[in-house]
Amino acid sequence: MKTEDFQYNLPPECIAQEPIEPRDSSRLLVLDRHSDSLQHRVFHQILDYFHPGDVLVLNQTRVIPARVMAHKLTGGRVELLLLRKEGDTGWEALVGGKKVREGTKLVVADNLMATVQEDLGGSRRRVVFDLPVEPFLSKVGEMPLPPYIHVHLSNPERYQTVYSSVEGSAAAPTAGLHFTPALLERLEQKGIKIARLTLHVGLDTFAPVTEENAEEHVIHTEWCELTEEAARIINEASANGGRVIAAGTTSVRTLETGTQYAAPGKRVGAFAGATSLFILPGYTFRAVDAMITNFHLPRSTLLMLVSAFAGRERMLSAYQTAVNEGYRFYSFGDAMLIL
């Protein structure tokens, strides 16, 4: 499976730079895998595609202000992007700066120092702070917007879902950005069950695959949790004929990992821990019946995941239609519903 098979051309002007208001007024491209049809709708019309008894699965992770500026004792500027917490004070991080080697001491704030403990390859480092860094982040951290967004985000809450509650992500689960409290309430009034899980998103999720053969790519692990309560809601809905509709590829990845813990006759089982599941075309989905997703970067693991669900050629054709129709792409862009 060649990585270039997931390449497509996107004019730069198609990359959304700012979120649209209100959240649920973004466009929605509905792809039906069974009838091979496309429909052009508005996101709040997604209600029309849910049936009573379906379950909508949301990732309740919350983005932390993970971009932290520091400097070496010698004065050189260093930028840290916190990706994953390890223990009380350790973090895996992306590091920007010159000669940031193992043992380098960093001044983060007046009362906070850090030490580069290990070189993990490339720009990755394991960094250990003198104290837990979380209480300092409101002062020293910034929201880690993707590098293709060049416009200042005046309201950081627009890079959070309205249901975010568990801090830990380096990036937002962007398919969820389209939901409003009112839309979620209308879904529940229609008889839609809502289950919440957690996957803390790392930036590798969005990174292009550099290997020529996609199957040789090593996807980095992300921490996720599917609680007993969420598993119960999903399994009961499924047993009663309801569909499992995942909001975002992060929810898909968590749910499909949860199938490994399922009791006989159940869709998913509860678990908490790291997942390294890499979904490529040829994968058999066991938990998810439909998904809501944004438009993803070329050659990315996310494009490979949605191609596994809908078919590569069908997905690339839908992307071309979206380009032709002026849809907005990536984190602040429009959405797809894949049935």
Last residue of a domain, one of 142, 170, 201: 142
CA dist 141 → 19, 187, 230 (Å)? 21, 35, 32
Element (H, E) at 125: strand 124-129
Which domain does 76 fall in, by range? 67-142
Which residue has 């394991």 as its token pair? 126
pLDDT(202) > 90:
no
Average pLDDT score over residue span 197-212: 77
What's the CA gap between 26 and 48, in Å, rounded? 16
Do 38 and 137 fall into the same domain? no
List, for residues 258-275, the tens digit of each pLDDT value. 999 999 999 999 999 999
Tokens for 296, please give them.
Answer: 């993803």
pLDDT value of residue 268: 98
Do 211 and 310 fall into the same domain? yes
Residues ≥6 apart with Cβ < 8 Å to 246? 57, 252, 255, 287, 288, 290, 291, 292
pLDDT(206) > 60:
no
Do 197 and 269 fall into the same domain? yes
Do 10 and 43 fall into the same domain? yes
Of residues 213 and 52, the one with the higher pLDDT is: 52
Element (H, E) at 55: strand 55-59
Do 191 and 307 fall into the same domain? yes
What's the CA gap between 203 and 94, in Å, rounded? 9
pLDDT value of residue 212: 83
Which of 2-16, 133-147, 165-179 has the least mean pLDDT? 133-147
Do 240 and 105 fall into the same domain? no
pTM: 0.92
User: For residue 298, what is the domain's CATH number?
Assistant: 3.40.1780.10
Last residue of a domain, one of 107, 122, 142: 142
List, for residues 33-78, the tens digit of each pLDDT value. 999 999 999 999 999 999 999 999 999 999 999 999 999 988 899 9
pLDDT value of residue 203: 65
pLDDT(276) > 80:
yes
Last residue of a domain, one of 142, 176, 193: 142
Do 196 and 261 fall into the same domain? yes
Do 162 and 195 fall into the same domain? yes
What's the CA gap between 198 and 178, in Å, rounded? 18
CA geometry: angle 289, 294, 297, nearest 5 deg: 115
Is 147 contained in some domain? no
Is 210 contained in some domain? yes
Do 212 and 303 fall into the same domain? yes
pLDDT band at 244 (very low <50, low <70, confident <90, very high): very high
Do 235 and 101 fall into the same domain? no
Do 138 and 107 fall into the same domain? yes
